[in-house]
Structure 1
Amino acid sequence: MCTPCCVSQLACCCGSAACSCCCNCCPKIKQSTGTRFMYALYFLMVTVICIIMMSPTVEDEMKLRIPYYNKMCEKMTAGENCKKLVGYSAVYKMCFGMACFFFFFFIITFRINNSTGCRAAIHNGFWLLKFILLVGCCAGAFYLPQQDTFLEIWRYIGAVGGGFFLVIQLMLLVEFAHRWNTNWSSGVKYNRLWYAALAFVTLVLFSVAVGAVVFMGVFYTHPEACLYNKIFLGINGSLCLIVSLLAISPFIQKLQPKSGLLQPGVISVYVMYLTFSAFSSKPTEFIEIDGKNKTVCVFPFNSGQESDKKIVTAIGTVILFACIIYSCLTSTTRRSSAALRVYRDSEPEIERARCCFCCGDDTEDTDEEKTGSGQNVLYDEQEATIYSYSYFHFVFFLGSLYVMMTVTNWFHYDNHNIEELLEGSWSVFWIKMVSCWVCLFLYIVTLVAPMICPKRFEA
């Protein structure tokens, strides 16, 4: 029974057909969704390899468990103990290859309006050949000449591109909050339970945000130290309160009746996470107590100095993957593209409330077709493309640069490793703190923009 399914998957990888991703026992999948899923899978694979390359623990385990490790490294011309294959320089080269891969597809898919052409077929199929191309791009980056000059220049290019992706990520977070509120609010007139769910989630979000403020106020401030922590905690907490009151103010409600407390709740929780992450990323502070230097403003439980780093790293890794995948997969839909242009009346008139609202598609179902004996593929782009192919690849290109800068701790990358990803870096502290303000600013813009440019928001 598995043979026909395997054959269909091989045909999907080698040909121009849409990838069905699994066997026929799984639910149907749309052609556009399957394509984006496959590119996201490639993206995640390279990201995981980059994280492994930055881990000295993995390097030590390879030395112990792989026989003739040093000789193998010499034959591969990878330097002593394969030094060329680990560390920040290896991550830069891997991400350079992945960025070139997506930039190449950005060029060849430019201005594609339908899925019947040759370029569209390349975008939607030939997965095995594209995998080989991706491996070739990443491997070829290790043979670039004048690597010191390349690393220095590529670092600044990565910082600019990663910054642009961070802005897109924050804009999509704001769009996510608006879409969540709009979707659940649409179900209130049919079932009052949606109103209860909306109220419950809003209450939980604000409870988490207020709890985070209290937690950081107690454990991340000190009467004689941590001045930055006290100032920025007060500023960010006050800004979250201001945007919450602004969202339910009468003049905002008049222009945007669906504006409520759910959106500022989502924004407040994310801002508090970034604030906590920034405090944990700041270099450790010491004060003298009874003639001894004591560490202050650190995580209060377990080992104190290291627990907050591990927790932030774990949470940050999950959020990193979630934000990158959500950004890359949704930034090219019609709804999200409108949000990136700050249109707020882009939602369809008929909105069906559902728990997994973010998994909805922009198009209605069309006739379904089968890919061999595999999973049913719904060809939803027969008349026209439902998202911009070139913009999709450009977002992945920026995402590659963002991953490169995040994994190597932005500008402080020398002798760095993944186990100490957030160890005392002022650059990470300021990037995350500025991200808080940008996120709040973008949300305020979506609230006040209809008053400034009313014609732009007319249906």
Structure 2
Amino acid sequence: MGAVLGLCSMASWVRGGGSVSGCCAPCLLSRCCPSGNNSTVTRLTYAFFLLLGVAVAGVMLMPGMEGQLKKIPGFCEGGTGSSIPGVEGRVNCDVLVGYKAVYRVCFGMAMFFLLFSLLMVKVRSSQDPRAALHNGFWFFKFAAAAAITIGSFFISEGPFTTVWFYVGMAGAFCFILIQLVLLIDFAHSWNESWVEKMEEGNSRCWYAALLSVTTLNYVMSLVSVVLFYVYYTHSDGCTENKVFISINMLLCLGSSVLSILPHIQESQPRSGCCSPPW
């Protein structure tokens, strides 16, 4: 999730034509960057924080890390997955300890961004005194993020892993839902733009481009479904995985068929660029 957000923020920075060349080294300690680039530098740096958190979480799952993580008090309590629903007695500590570490890294990053979101409540412009804290003091913010994340590793096991498991599930659901809405909006805007260009001139070229991109996306989706069946199911088990993959595939096919039905097409706005050429 952090990687996606980080890449989106970086894409926004590139699209906006921002530059970090005006940011000097003391910006780590205070706000000395040009005011015109504050927003760009801030988004880029927070994106870096997210990507760094994802990288650290990935390191926690690398082979060999479990030996170091098991030295932390409470990490191997009971030696099994008794604290995570659905894995009671099935997973030994060598496997589970990496996932517990990932939970704590994500908890630390979440608390860091929650803290700053609360500090920035009702900040509406860079003229607000608190905006200086938002756009600068990166060294101290990095130290705070690191301290919160490291401190989370010393939280006693208790119900922490179970509670954070459900928080993560709810957050992941909301994140995926938001990403789906943004993806659909992006695809709709992309289609509108290309159809508009097709109507302005060189219709065959833009029609071919639309058809090619549509075909490519369907092929990629089909390949993804096949890979899901290959890597996430087995012939003699994984019934739940098979059901969810199949339902998702059927929903995609159903929505594709519905989108090209004449009745659906007639109900679309007819502004001249809002309906696909087919």
Structure 1 gaps, min length 5: 21-28, 64-72, 263-459
**Equivalences for residues 428-447 of structure 1 within 5 A:** none
Give the equivalent residue in structure 2 for 1:12: 27
Q: Does 1:118 align with 2:129?
A: yes
1:346-373 superposed Cα distances (whole Å, 9 cap, x missing partner): xxxxxxxxxxxxxxxxxxxxxxxxxxxx
Given that 2:195 and 2:276 are in contact with CA atoms closer than 8 Å, whether structure 1 keeps it comes out as no
Aligned-residue offset at 1:171:
2.1
Which amino acid counterpart does residue 152 of structure 1 have in structure 2?
A: T
Give the equivalent residue in structure 2 for 1:39: 46
Given that 1:92 and 1:151 are in contact with CA atoms closer than 8 Å, whether structure 2 keeps it comes out as yes
Aligned-residue offset at 1:104:
0.5
Change (3 A) 1:188 1:137: same
- Structure 1 stretch 147-156 or stretch 107-116: which is displaced more? 147-156
Change (3 A) 1:59 1:225: closer
1:201 aligns to what SS in structure 2?
Answer: helix
Aligned-residue offset at 1:190:
4.1
**Equivalences for residues 217-232 of structure 1 within 5 A:** none
How many residues align? The count is 234
TM-score, with length taken from structure 2 = 0.66
- Structure 1 stretch 33-42 or stretch 8-17: which is displaced more? 8-17
- Structure 1 stretch 235-244 or stretch 118-127: which is displaced more? 235-244
Given that 1:16 and 1:126 are in contact with CA atoms closer than 8 Å, whether structure 2 keeps it comes out as yes
Aligned-residue offset at 1:162:
2.6
- Distance in structure 2 (CA, Å) of the matches to 1:235 and 1:124: 45
Change (3 A) 1:206 1:13: same
1:72-109 superposed Cα distances (whole Å, 9 cap, x missing partner): x99xx746xx999x623322222221111000111111
Which amino acid counterpart does residue 256 of structure 1 have in structure 2?
A: P
Given that 2:22 and 2:34 are in contact with CA atoms closer than 8 Å, whether structure 1 keeps it comes out as no
Which amino acid counterpart does residue 53 of structure 2 have in structure 1?
A: V
Give the equivalent residue in structure 1 for 2:104: 93
1:151 aligns to what SS in structure 2?
Answer: helix
TM-score, with length taken from structure 1 = 0.42
1:189-215 superposed Cα distances (whole Å, 9 cap, x missing partner): 445333332221112222344566678
- Distance in structure 1 (CA, Å) of the matches to 2:141 and 2:227: 48
Which amino acid counterpart does residue 95 of structure 1 have in structure 2?
A: C
Give the equivalent residue in structure 2 for 1:179: 189
Aligned-residue offset at 1:232:
5.8
Change (3 A) 1:194 1:122: farther
Q: Does 1:131 align with 2:142?
A: yes
Identity %: 36
Given that 1:12 and 1:19 are in contact with CA atoms closer than 8 Å, whether structure 2 keeps it comes out as no
Which amino acid counterpart does residue 126 of structure 1 have in structure 2?
A: F
**Equivalences for residues 35-114 of structure 1 within 5 A:** 35-58=42-65, 78=72, 87-114=98-125
Which amino acid counterpart does residue 260 of structure 2 have in structure 1?
A: I
Structure 2 gaps, min length 5: 1-19, 77-92
1:114-154 superposed Cα distances (whole Å, 9 cap, x missing partner): 2221222222222222111111111222333x332333332
Change (3 A) 1:155 1:13: same
C-alpha RMSD of matched pairs (Å): 4.2
